[in-house]
Amino acid sequence: MKLLRTLAMTAAFGLTAGAAVAQTTVNMINPLPRSTNFFPLVVGEELGYFAEEDVEVNLLPSDTSIPYVAFIQNGQADLAMLDPFETVNARLAGADIATVFEVMQNAPEGIAVAADSDVQSMSDLVGTTVGLVSDRDRAFLQSALATAGHSLDDVETVVLGEAGPTLAAAVRDGTVSAIAGAAPDWIALIANGIETRLITPPELLASPANTFAMSVEAIDGDKRDAVEGFLRAWCKGMHAATVNPEAVAAILKKNVPEEWEIEAAGQLYLDMSIGMNVSVTERCGDVQPAVWTGIQPQMKASGGITDIVPVEDFLNDSYIEAANDFDRDEVASEINAWAEENM
């Protein structure tokens, strides 16, 4: 196995990957630190895929009030993870950015209520207070309400933050009727004793929920090779979960143990994350013009965007071929070899 040979050679010569080869840092901003939610990064680092590409991943702090698109505009980030609303609104505002890779092709966002709640649909939320995990969830709630002919004016909203105990207390005490958030938040609720039920409108679930965006100027810039390597390593980490999800779970327990303190919650989190992260397109991370064309009228109707942007103005698939240029069988062998040595 290439991975095992690499480790053996490194040990024999007493070298670290950083000492042997100068690595290029790829700066990325996304909504979470290293997490089960974005397991391809954690798995890719554990199996050495980013190191093989001579790439070091630098995650920028995600708890910022500055729009993520600003980080790629000012050069602080090479890649920013954006949702559809952020992407289209950035283009409408004149930001010269492009979507180069679809990280999640199924939406992680949703509207959750307590399992025993009387709320069954979006219409049942009218006149109540809905919790937002962060202000970024406002646009999704707006779209969800619009599917039932309602708007944000029909509810009160309150930003609760990401802390599991706070979210659980708001539901338990009846402070909020529902929470607009994402998969990690449902796990946090379950971990704090609140069983949940999703009332998310089905038409909002098929969506390029999280994507990597770049500055158009940087697409063919000095870091092109490094970004290609980053995306290839990401795809390998994604593919590993389709081969041996048990080994992926073990890697996550090792690297993000705080998310696995309650193993059942961690496993549920991973199961949800695999469903969101593994691409539905034939090519890992491929951009989907038809999907983007289809979702924008709904986004506009909800008030989340003011106009529709032609997909050719912001979709760029020039990285996809390189991202998929790897041997799937070799990845299968490597994740299975890791399992034999570590489980």
Q: For residue range 107-148, what is the model confidence (pLDDT) as tens digits?
A: 778 999 999 999 999 999 999 999 999 988 998 899 899 999
Model confidence at 171, pLDDT cuts 50, 70, 90, reads very high
Provide φ and ψ at 266, rounded to 5°: -65, -40
| pLDDT score, position 2 | 41
Average pLDDT over the chain, rounded to an integer = 91
Model confidence at 13, pLDDT cuts 50, 70, 90, reads very low
Angle between helices 164-172 and 183-191 (to 10 degrees): 70
Q: Rounded CA gap, 342 and 256, in Å?
A: 16
| pLDDT score, position 15 | 39
Report CA-CA distances (Å) from 333 to 8, 49, 340: 16, 13, 10
**Beta partners for 317?**
none
pLDDT of 160 above 60: yes
| pLDDT score, position 265 | 83
Q: For the chain, report the end-to-end CA distance as a whole number of angstroms.
A: 18
**Beta partners for 214?**
98
Element (H, E) at 104: strand 97-104
Mean pLDDT of 230-250: 98
Q: Rounded CA gap, 276 and 265, in Å?
A: 17
* pTM, rounded to two decimals: 0.78
CB neighbour class for 303 (10 Å; exposed up to 12, middle 13-18, buried from 19) = middle
| pLDDT score, position 21 | 61
Contact, 183 vs 275, CB < 8 A? no
Q: Rounded CA gap, 151 and 302, in Å?
A: 7
φ/ψ region of 94 (left if φ > 0, alpha if ψ in -120 to 50, else beta) reads left
Q: Rounded CA gap, 47 and 240, in Å?
A: 10
Q: Rounded CA gap, 106 and 204, in Å?
A: 9
pLDDT of 19 above 60: no
